[in-house]
């Protein structure tokens, strides 16, 4: 079974994340959307809220699972028997950052990182900009799935 882990904070899930997940679906038998728990990070949405945004958005797709993990992403991949990490690339800054992590993960394990380039119409979306708009009581409906707005 070809299984991929899509790790991230998803604080909150955006249409950019959704684009990557939708486009990765034909490539894998199962995609685990894995919310990394970092106790030193402050989140806008609780873990329960972030899980429920993802579950609600992908409720009609049984190839997608939502889980949480702590520690190294490669250790988590080994635990759930996933040979692939899925990541999205928006711009050169993402590429430089992701390249170092992917090389490091590859040195430490057999796990391959699969990158998908974001679609042009969602490549500018980021969870941090969505959080800024929300803090200032703006409308984020063009940037996040319906489940997040409700
Ligand atoms: P992290 O804190 O690990 O960056 P995020 O939740 O911000 O977690 O992102 C998870 C993954 O989704 C990363 O691979 C990131 O590059 C990708 N991603 C984030 N926003 C977008 C977007 N607008 N288009 C495509 N991929 C995105």
pLDDT recorded at residue 150: 80
Quick check: 97 pLDDT over 90?
yes
Alpha helices in 58-91 (DSSP H): 73-79
pTM for this predicted structure: 0.94
- Choice from 18, 90, 145 to test ligand 1 binding pocket (greatest atom count within 8 A of CB): 90
The answer, yes or no, to whether any atom of ligand 1 lies below 6 A from the CB of 57, is no
pLDDT recorded at residue 70: 96
The answer, yes or no, to whether any atom of ligand 1 lies below 6 A from the CB of 122, is yes
pLDDT recorded at residue 145: 98
Residue with tokens 């728990």: 37
Q: Which domains does the chain have, with CATH numbers?
A: 3-149 (3.40.50.620)
**By the 8 A CB rule, do 140 and 134 touch?**
yes
């Amino acid at each position: 079974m070809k299984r991929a882990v899509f790790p991230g904070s998803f604080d909150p899930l955006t249409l950019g994340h959704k684009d990557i997940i939708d486009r990765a679906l034909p490539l894998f038998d199962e995609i685990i959307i894995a919310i990394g728990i970092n106790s030193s990070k402050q989140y806008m949405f609780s873990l329960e809220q972030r899980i429920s945004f993802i579950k609600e958005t992908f409720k009609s797709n049984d190839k997608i699972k939502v889980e949480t993990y702590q520690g190294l992403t490669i250790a988590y991949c080994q635990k759930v028997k996933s040979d692939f990490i899925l990541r999205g690339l928006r711009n050169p800054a993402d590429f430089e950052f992701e390249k170092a992590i992917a090389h490091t993960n590859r040195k430490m394990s057999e796990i391959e990182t699969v990158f998908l380039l974001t679609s042009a119409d969602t490549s500018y979306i980021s969870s941090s900009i969505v959080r800024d708009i929300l803090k200032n009581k703006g409308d984020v409906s063009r940037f996040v799935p319906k489940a997040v707005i409700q």
